[in-house]
Structure 1
């Protein structure tokens, strides 16, 4: 571009357009680029975030086509599309899909806004949402043209564009000032918070991440929004724009508002509010300060180590070591040396420095012995001596070392049967079972499945580093109805799987669940219980509901809003149920 050449209309507004472009990219999770009528790059993200003000030096056939025809262009099969024929950059092009929209000022095309995919996953997102994305980009183009170029007061014009964009976004948006005070919220945000604009202007509002680790991640995360005495759980993310912070709410929010009580730190991982879990928490609080041994009994996968940690954290030993070992996972000979340690030269292959055993390492703290029912009779006798004498004898040593430990053990075995068949010492059992704790299986914990799902969604999205997804009422009903033979461990593994496979920005729906969830019987009202054979399946009910909404409403976006699902989910279900003619 010539040094003294006049700037185009778009280049004069470059900072504003750059901010819009970054916001567009963040909302749609795709890279974006804006060029003017001279093919000068005005703004861009990802690979296009450099060389603003420079004319494109590679082939620009698609941009030229849009500028000349004033028509949008979609390419979902790059390199094979006719418009790519003869492109000099074709061999090295990494773009997998492209959606370009002209920026029209009256009858002139003053530039192009484009969305670009660089992976197969992003390509599919453009392919499946062409009309939705096109409408969204066209709307932004209209705002830029109609608002930025009107009036002589440019700064006021920019503020109008900024406000208009936020007002017309489908996502909830809160605008915060430099002191993190909320100045404004658009209508979707007000709906999510169940508050009016006037109430918002007078309310004391505080936004805090649900987990302190959330700030380290990109994408939507759970936040607690405090509005005076009331609290709401909202999924969203922060963006810095023009000295302000924007809090962009995700399309998919938790199904209901929550009054969130700050959990006690020691129970932060003991998730459950059913009667049995409340009784268990009360028991843990009472026995935590005691030095007596605890035996936790429960099915595999119920979370016995989590309960052991809670007992330790509530005790006076919480600042001392918590040592855990799985007795079933380690061969018997190795388990002995791990527990009791050994001195130099105790046996062939022993370290010449000796080794401190886990019992000694847990001194002043807690030793957790998981699956203790798998311990051999020989080791049981040695462990009994430790409990009786409060001292440990390393292998090969003649000197006992005093230890002060609390033993918490766990099993899913039937001790009565094991004692009767001489597979477990009765005297050791009574030493371990001073305080018995029974951990109920997940199928007996009514109402806890949903709490655990929300908890594991938070854990696994943070671990993987992806956006927090929504979950449909139908999918939650299936998960609640399932019998969970693998208990909490199975639920955690399933949620981790779902977090990996759900499309970004979409909701977890029944069609993402493994096939065996189709057999889960959904609880029905008592009146319908006698006519199960005639009752409609969940899918049939859903199909009728969607079909009725499609026939009644003229706009699919309105259908998605009424059904409480994302537009991408709606299109997927329309295809699934063969409703594309509606």
Structure 2
């Protein structure tokens, strides 16, 4: 809030002008009776608290006060200079902010000649002081309005910087007037305020907006960066003042961010280490080791037979990493045709090949930027793509299909396979250099037949899940069923056990899970 202290310079200039005009001493105090301006001897008191009994009275009453006999006036009773005052006369008027007194201007005479000038022309002096008081009040109001405007501007800037999209505003001449942090990051230039909108946006698009009033909503367009263009999707809004187009506000989001948000909205599978069920020594050891390396960015290679829970372990590592809440993106390298795998991983540019989507497409690596990518069945990746993956791991860049420039990425890679990669490398089906890059932190999940102490714990876990899912009330697993579960080898591992319990729960009609209801 504006106070007399915030206009000390103006208050001092006012005090000196009054003193020069009336040839008397001037003191100006605030609502705490602190001297903020003064002339003559009172200049030495600036910054100190005045005795201020007369000033206190003026602040309290909000009315002018004329003291013809300082030291003998009723307001002087508490003063240590009672009946022995250094002043010969005093005139004080309040300074208002709105209707509230926030300070006092005091005229003080120290000799008979000065006293005559104050008292003989007291009405004129009071009137003059009130006009000076009004000037200070106006200055306070001006400062308050400026402070309010500054607050609103800062508040607006905070709001537009907080929104998760770019905002660029331009005036009626096409000069950039505002840009938020998101847009600044996209554009990649520090000083764009005052530059033409054409410096960041195609000329034709701007002509359509300014000359033809062709505003748009959720339309794709290109923003210029230092060495390339970035595809964005957004809106153009007119700024109308007095029925006149006074500028444009662009709001947009990088298409890559929009795609990542779509993935985040559709991805609900989250696992922690508590979701890895088991009490066997290998499982406890894997959980301990995975927890230690979760916050690292080192590459992880998870090996194990199909159905052992490699993806759940990868998701748990991501969930306990510093990359939360960024995305965990999965891709099965063995399930996608070789001709499509490259574009799925690295994306492609507009017109990269026949049938390519207009505007191009982001690959899984760009979608995972900032997060984790899980490359399942990495052992089935074609050799020519292994070279590109090696470059990603070494240089932290990808190149889209049909692209002519590299795109920097920040992604943690977790790979998994049921194959023996060393054996495949010896057969020249897998690159040794890529194997060493992936195998920085190896984690092996043993098959279920090698950790039978986990079987019943997993079975009880799945029984609870499918009881809730199918709305059954099976209370326990029968002893005969338990024996069958423990004596089976489970070639399909945890996935097969889950399926078996789900089948049995569907078939069971009693409160015990009986062996006859297990899959044939």
Highest CA radius of gyration, 1 or 2?
A: 2
TM-score w.r.t. length of structure 1: 0.42
